[in-house]
Structure 1
Amino acid sequence: MRHSAKFNFLLPWGAAVLTGILMFLGYAGFDQFYLEWFFLVPLLWALRNQRPARAFWLGWLAGIVGHGGGFYWIIQMFQQFAGAPWLAGVFGLLLLAAANGIVLAVWAWGTRLLTRDRQWYVLWAAPVLWTAMEKVWPEVFPNYLGASQYRISHLTQIADFAGILGVSFLVVYMNATLFWVTVRWHEQRGVPWRAVSALAVTLVLVLGYGELRIREVDGKLATAQRLTVGLVQTNRGAADNHLAVDLMQKEHRDLSRELVAARKPDLVVWPEGVLSVSLASREGSLPTWALGDLATPLLFGTCLQIKEEGETRFCNSALLTDASGRILGSYDKTVLVPFGEYIPFGDIFPQLYAWSPYSAKFFSGRSTEPLKLGNHLLSVSICYEDIFPTHIRKLMRGGREGRIPAVMFNLTNDSWYGKSVEPMEHLALATFRTIENRRSLVRVTNTGISAFVDPAGRIVSRTGVWTREVLVDRVPLMEGRTLYGAAGDWIGWLCAVISVCGVAAATLSKKARAAV
């Protein structure tokens, strides 16, 4: 009896761990996407008959395991980016996993609270609460559940009106329905055909919408004006920015000259942080020898030193130059990486920078204006900015004059994360920006994965990870806006309101019963 009681006590915790394992194995990078269709079923089963407070801890454990397994590369990031020892990297991973795991913790607590009296409420409570948490909970590295489905194009097209949050909602709705079917079957009460039918109809509508939108996109692609773009990936990691600067820059110039001679692109693109440039203003020209004497426009990442508003600023920037080296425009990274590109509260406590000598102190950009190449408007983002839907949506509004860009570019350095799943996770998340805004994405990194992604979120071509390659494609220039571009994360805010109202009603109902 004692062993049986101990087993029954441990079983819910084991189910929570299983959910966490299924969660990271089903995510982008590990790419077992089908696991995400039922990864929550073990946790939901464990939540039955639990108090909401215990449900919170079960959900948190699942979240810590899921994020700890999926973000294991954080350890190397802390070592490379901030010069931290391995033990500090492990501690950083645990902190990040615990912080992101709050999403599952609150979700589990709220789901149990709302389904305590009517278990079938799980069909709406689970997806609504999850979507609300993905919207409102702040994360250093947002990792929307919907990104796990990036390869299933017919499922992801709903992102053009509901964003990536809409895909997350759909995935959790599938989990909730499968759980409800399991419960009813276990209780020998038969199959809940209404719930099954509702899910089936939903999937048919989503897949049908996906087919229609893909056909529409393909029709526009067939007649779209195109820009031939060449990407240069030299396979030089972040350390080479300090240890082999001249060699790294020479390799970019040499590969670019070969590319231009063979393919004659309209634009060559280099990744984040290739050159260090000091400017008196954002106008003028750069020496063509430094750019490879390509006689071709160049978009490249730079550590920019510039004096503005009476102070010297260091920015993680992108510069666009024409064939003669004349600067056509610039963009400064706005969403900076904490502890890598700045230290939180470092302006108030400057000593923090002395304690972390590898951390940079970049100025956060302010401009959202597109860059202009001839008659074409380009939206440019840097590094992990492309995993923030609201930031890319802001850039796609076209700045003060509303000049809507025709294509999106992202310049990235993913070498901080070593040979891990991070480059694929990053690319998978970025592909959703193409669907949300119906624009192609040109993404160049120094060690991979560089890629061309079409407006339906399909990866047209890509490089490997830690490979030396060039990549060329004819990128379609698109027009128009999407519902998501106009309304943003409406589904996230709607789910947040419903969640607050639902939790409030459940809490008041509990108090009323206690008072009787």
Structure 2
Amino acid sequence: MTRGRAGWLAGYLVSSFLAFPHPLGGRVIDLGFVLAWVAPACLVAGLRGLGPASAARWGFLASLIAHAAILHWIYVVTVVYGEAPVLVGVLAPIALAAYIALFGAAFGAGMGLLELRGRAGPFALAALWTALDYLRHHLLSGFPWAVLGYAQHQDPALMALAPIAGVFGLSFVTVLGSLGVGASVAAMRKGRRPSLESLAACAAALAALASGAVISAQPTPPSDEKIRVAVLQGNIDQGVKWSHAWQEVTLQIYEALTRRARAEGAEVVVWPETAVPGSLETDPDFRARIEGLAREQALALVIGAVGVEPVGRDYRYYDSAYVFNSAGQEIERYDKAHLVPFGEYVPLRGLLGLLIGAVARGIAPDNVTAGSGPRAVGLPPPTPNGESSALDAPAPVPVGIPICYELLFPDLVRRFVASGGSMLLAITNDAWYGRTGAPYQFLAITALRSAETRVWTARAANTGVSAFIDDRGRVRSQTRIFERGLLVDDIPLRPGAAADSFYVRHGDVFAWACCGAAGAALVLRRRSEGEAKA
């Protein structure tokens, strides 16, 4: 490998890592709005001129190192809280990074194939990159962490494209602009004029940014209906969360926070994922406490807990969200549909049984059962506080309640809103991540879900980051991690199906178009090559 090629690949490693938020010296360093534009150009420059096989190898290695660094928090999940051996903690982020690196290898191979026939221009490579991002959301159940588009969560112009093309649109424009500028600069350094395609790529990226800037400058139409929502952050240490001695303490903490929220006017109070350290089905004392709290405070409660259903002499477990009305009645339960591999279920359990005790301690002693799928649930009509509110309507207010890992999947969250959800009440337990960059990276992912669906999100996290995110993906308020507290805000409701974003109505059509364009470019290359050989 030449020194120049090594330098470009090193630039890709550094810019990829720093494009996502990481804590440093008591502050969160988040440079994605700059470095996300740098990483694709560095990678392509580092792979340029290699054949498909060699480019695949170097693409795999570069992606492996970059994502192993980004995913270092997996060590905390597995060793600190999962009680896995240190070796498992070291290998786990490498294994996940290797999965992601397969897509880096595919990008390198695809680039090499396109380059053989002179088709590796910015548009084809941006489509290929975006298509692989899309596949990473789906293959082998998907693990779409650190997708390039999320690094742009601070850019209002790019975020304005999310309601149309989703996070994949942000990835495409970022790669297109990066490669267009990179190719133009490289040509000028060699004393040549930039190609028409590289100039067109720059122009297209600038046009997308300009369009996004115009859209983002438009005021949001005011909503006639609002609900005052509180999100609670109990800050229960993951190491004691499930101990019997902490069950009463945990309930007392959340009861006190709920009363504080009600004193600040909250009509709906949201507890984090598995906030209740037990089962509402099998422990009548827990249920009685929750029902009594809802009646006492005359509000609606949304509570994360372990759902349990008897199956013969055994039980079926769910990661669930319960909705209680102000009369203390459970009126809805949503069960998490997309589970965490090795956290909530173990693939090929018979073959991988030794890993269960190490990394599958999650929320149940056995496999968690997936729910039937995302759907809006009804928040109950309201508390008799004598004030006008959206909850005074006779019909329940439909909301989506994505649970933790589900927030990584844009099409899944889209379906909460497509089925009627007028806001998102996201619940999660990010205590597993410790004081790493993961809580902030996950917050950025959640911000994209709000921008794509054009609804507000109230995010309740056990140890943070809890937040309110508006319908443009802007974080309006947030907590510090590992501090107990709450946030209260008035959340505007989506005014109806007519306000659905293009993304809510049509889903990942832009990503599908990129898949088609990338596939066509590769097929056309092969046909041209075959005709040339003939």
**Post-superposition offset of 1:299:** 0.6
Provide the residue aligned with 1:85 in structure 2.
85
Provide the residue aligned with 1:450 in structure 2.
466
Provide the residue aligned with 2:272 in structure 1.
271
Q: Please list, as runs of the form range in 1=range in 2, the aligned pairs for 1:162-201 lying within 5 A after superposition.
A: 162-192=165-195, 195-196=198-199, 198-200=201-203
Provide the residue aligned with 2:126 in structure 1.
127
Q: Secondary structure at the match of 1:240?
A: coil
**Post-superposition offset of 1:315:** 0.9
> Gapped runs of 5+ residues in structure 2?
23-28, 382-395
- Pick aligned residue for 2:250 from 232, 244, 248: 248
Q: Is the 8 A contact 1:28 1:147 kept in 2?
A: no
Q: Is the 8 A contact 1:237 1:416 kept in 2?
A: no
CA distance in 2, matches of 1:299, 1:124: 45
Please give the TM-score of this superposition, normalised by the length of structure 1: 0.89
CA distance in 2, matches of 1:317, 1:347: 26
User: Cα distance 1:14–1:416, how it changes in 2: closer, same or farther (>3 A)?
Assistant: same
Provide the residue aligned with 1:136 in structure 2.
135
Provide the residue aligned with 1:438 in structure 2.
454
Deviates more, 1:232-241 or 1:146-155: 232-241
Q: Is the 8 A contact 1:435 1:457 kept in 2?
A: yes
CA distance in 1, matches of 2:160, 2:492: 18
Aligned-pair Cα RMSD in Å? 2.6
CA distance in 2, matches of 1:88, 1:348: 16
The answer to whether structure 1 residue 499 and structure 2 residue 518 are counterparts is yes
Which amino acid is 1:463 matched to? Answer: T
Q: Is the 8 A contact 2:417 2:453 kept in 1?
A: yes
CA distance in 2, matches of 1:355, 1:476: 43
Provide the residue aligned with 2:374 in structure 1.
368
Provide the residue aligned with 2:307 in structure 1.
304
CA distance in 1, matches of 2:307, 2:400: 19
- Pick aligned residue for 1:15 from 8, 18, 40: 8
**Post-superposition offset of 1:353:** 3.9
Provide the residue aligned with 2:384 in structure 1.
none
CA distance in 2, matches of 1:295, 1:454: 27
**Post-superposition offset of 1:289:** 6.8
Q: Is the 8 A contact 1:332 1:366 kept in 2?
A: yes
Deviation string 1:199-230 (CA, Å, 9 cap, x unpaired) is: 245424433344335525x2x2x333110011
**Post-superposition offset of 1:300:** 0.9
Provide the residue aligned with 2:393 in structure 1.
none
Q: Is the 8 A contact 1:181 1:191 kept in 2?
A: yes
Q: Secondary structure at the match of 1:467?
A: coil
Deviates more, 1:307-316 or 1:146-155: 307-316
Q: Please list, as runs of the form range in 1=range in 2, the aligned pairs for 1:225-264 lying within 5 A after superposition.
A: 225-243=225-243, 244-261=246-263, 263-264=264-265
Q: Is the 8 A contact 2:59 2:108 kept in 1?
A: yes
Q: How many residues align?
A: 497
Which amino acid is 2:225 matched to? Answer: Q
User: Cα distance 1:51–1:381, how it changes in 2: closer, same or farther (>3 A)?
Assistant: same
Q: Is the 8 A contact 1:288 1:324 kept in 2?
A: no
Q: Is the 8 A contact 1:16 1:59 kept in 2?
A: no
Provide the residue aligned with 1:73 in structure 2.
73
> Gapped runs of 5+ residues in structure 1?
1-7, 399-403
Deviation string 1:264-311 (CA, Å, 9 cap, x unpaired) is: 211111101111224289xxx744476474332111100122236996
Q: Secondary structure at the match of 1:164?
A: helix
Deviates more, 1:108-117 or 1:60-69: 108-117
Q: Is the 8 A contact 1:113 1:503 kept in 2?
A: yes
**Post-superposition offset of 1:485:** 1.2
Q: Is the 8 A contact 1:438 1:455 kept in 2?
A: yes
User: Cα distance 1:271–1:298, how it changes in 2: closer, same or farther (>3 A)?
Assistant: same
Deviation string 1:448-501 (CA, Å, 9 cap, x unpaired) is: 100111111111111111111211000000122111112111121111122222
Deviation string 1:380-413 (CA, Å, 9 cap, x unpaired) is: 1111211210111222222xxxxx1111111100
Deviates more, 1:324-333 or 1:411-420: 324-333
Q: Is the 8 A contact 1:149 1:156 kept in 2?
A: yes
**Post-superposition offset of 1:70:** 1.2
- Percent identity over the alignment is 26
Please give the TM-score of this superposition, normalised by the length of structure 2: 0.87
Q: Please list, as runs of the form range in 1=range in 2, the aligned pairs for 1:214-225 lying within 5 A after superposition.
A: 214-216=217-219, 218=220, 220=221, 222-225=222-225
**Post-superposition offset of 1:258:** 2.2
CA distance in 1, matches of 2:271, 2:74: 25
- Pick aligned residue for 1:394 from 415, 434, 441: 415
CA distance in 1, matches of 2:504, 2:313: 36
User: Cα distance 1:52–1:489, how it changes in 2: closer, same or farther (>3 A)?
Assistant: same
Q: Is the 8 A contact 2:166 2:452 kept in 1?
A: yes
**Post-superposition offset of 1:337:** 0.9
**Post-superposition offset of 1:10:** 5.1
Which amino acid is 1:450 matched to? Answer: S
User: Cα distance 1:177–1:425, how it changes in 2: closer, same or farther (>3 A)?
Assistant: same
